[in-house]
Structure 1
Amino acid sequence: MHELLVSLEVAGILAALLLAFLVAVVLRRRRLTARLGTFDCSVRQARGTRRRWTLGVARYELDRLDWYRTFSLSPRPSCTYARRALAVTLFRDAEGQELLAVQPGAIVVECRYEGTEIELAMTSDAYTGFASWLESAPPGQNVNVA
């Protein structure tokens, strides 16, 4: 009987920790999206042979795009893309397995960043804002938008 109580206590503690983690993730997301210039954005980078979409939130800064993972507690961005080094090569509708991995109605924006291929999945409204942000770069920055 004592072993059963210990098992239930451990299960209860694990459930409480999971709940605390989920609450912290939700509060972090709310804090990130409270600022202007944020949008839902999934990222897939060309690293290795396994390329997976990762859900997140992107935020425009003056000269860079900061991207934060959804399921993280870190206050720092997971990736930062400098506007001057980011070039859109193609945008298209999500297709096949991508439809299951990104938010509904997303378009995939294929980009080159410092010689590496990355893909961003966002809504068409978010893409309009993203393209405008890229095009509004100060003079002298080489910005390419498809």
Structure 2
Amino acid sequence: MRVLEIIGICVVALLVVLLAIFLRRRLLMAGGGTIRLQVRVSTMVPGRGWSSGIGQFVGDELRFHRMFSFGVRPKRVLNRRTLAVGCRRLPAGPERLTMPGHWVILLCTTGRNELEIAMAESTVTGFLSWLEAGPPGQPGSVAPRPTITPRPVER
């Protein structure tokens, strides 16, 4: 009888954990402006180190939340002002096993750091539009003209 109680408690605990992860994911996606993506967190083994998650657009930031995590805070925050996309490629080697075939990998730079992001091909267009639609003053954009203030008239 004691063994059945322990097994029952373990099953209930597992169900509570799965429910908590599911509800967290639902809450993140309920606000809108979210996409499914993967971020390479480790480059020690070629083709490995990808982490699945949810990207949330909030103002000038893309916040990456891991898919299977209890954390409320994002794992990474990418600022639109410092983010630039270098090149794009299709998954190769072991990457083809970890992500769907219609996904594209983008090599991005954030300041001095390089970062690889993978997302669906249809999502890339929206991501690049969000990236290009930033406010004036972005790197590579034309600086605003100086404002000319009129001189006070002397009498």
**Paired letter, 1:39:** I
Helix, strand or coil at the partner of 1:94: coil
Which segment drifts farther, 65-74 or 10-19? 10-19
Q: Structure 1 residues 104, 84: closer, same or farther in 2, change over 3 A?
A: same
Query: 1:78 Cα deviation (Å)?
Result: 1.2
Mapped partners of 2:31, 2:102: distance in 1? 23
Q: 1:93 aligns with which of 90, 93, 100?
A: 90
Helix, strand or coil at the partner of 1:57: strand
Match of 1:9 in 2: 5
Bigger Cα Rg:
2
Q: 1:68 aligns with which of 56, 65, 69?
A: 65
Question: Where do 5+ consecutive residues of structure 1 fail to align?
Answer: none
Structure ranking higher on relative contact order (CA contacts 8 Å, 6+ apart): 1
Q: How many residues align?
A: 139
User: Of Structure 1 and Structure 2, which has the larger fraction of its residues in helix?
Assistant: 1
Residue 41 of structure 1 pairs with residue 37 of structure 2 = yes
Residue 28 of structure 1 pairs with residue 48 of structure 2 = no
- Correspondence 1:47-126 to 2 at 5 A: 49-50=44-45, 52-126=49-123
**Paired letter, 2:9:** I
Query: 1:84 Cα deviation (Å)?
Result: 1.2
Q: Structure 1 residues 45, 142: closer, same or farther in 2, change over 3 A?
A: farther
Contact (CA 8 Å) 2:42, 2:50: kept in 1 or not? no
The percent identity for this pair of structures is: 38
Which segment drifts farther, 6-15 or 93-102? 6-15
Query: 1:114 Cα deviation (Å)?
Result: 2.5
Q: TM-score, normalised by structure 2?
A: 0.81
Mapped partners of 1:6, 1:63: distance in 2? 55
Contact (CA 8 Å) 1:67, 1:80: kept in 2 or not? yes
Q: Structure 1 residues 143, 93: closer, same or farther in 2, change over 3 A?
A: farther
Q: Deviations over 1:29-57 (max 9, x none)?
A: 1121122210001110356x255100100
Superposition RMSD on alpha carbons, in Å?
Answer: 1.9
Question: Where do 5+ consecutive residues of structure 2 fail to align?
Answer: 142-155
Contact (CA 8 Å) 1:45, 1:117: kept in 2 or not? no
Q: Structure 1 residues 44, 101: closer, same or farther in 2, change over 3 A?
A: same
Mapped partners of 2:83, 2:6: distance in 1? 48
Q: 2:136 aligns with which of 123, 131, 139?
A: 139
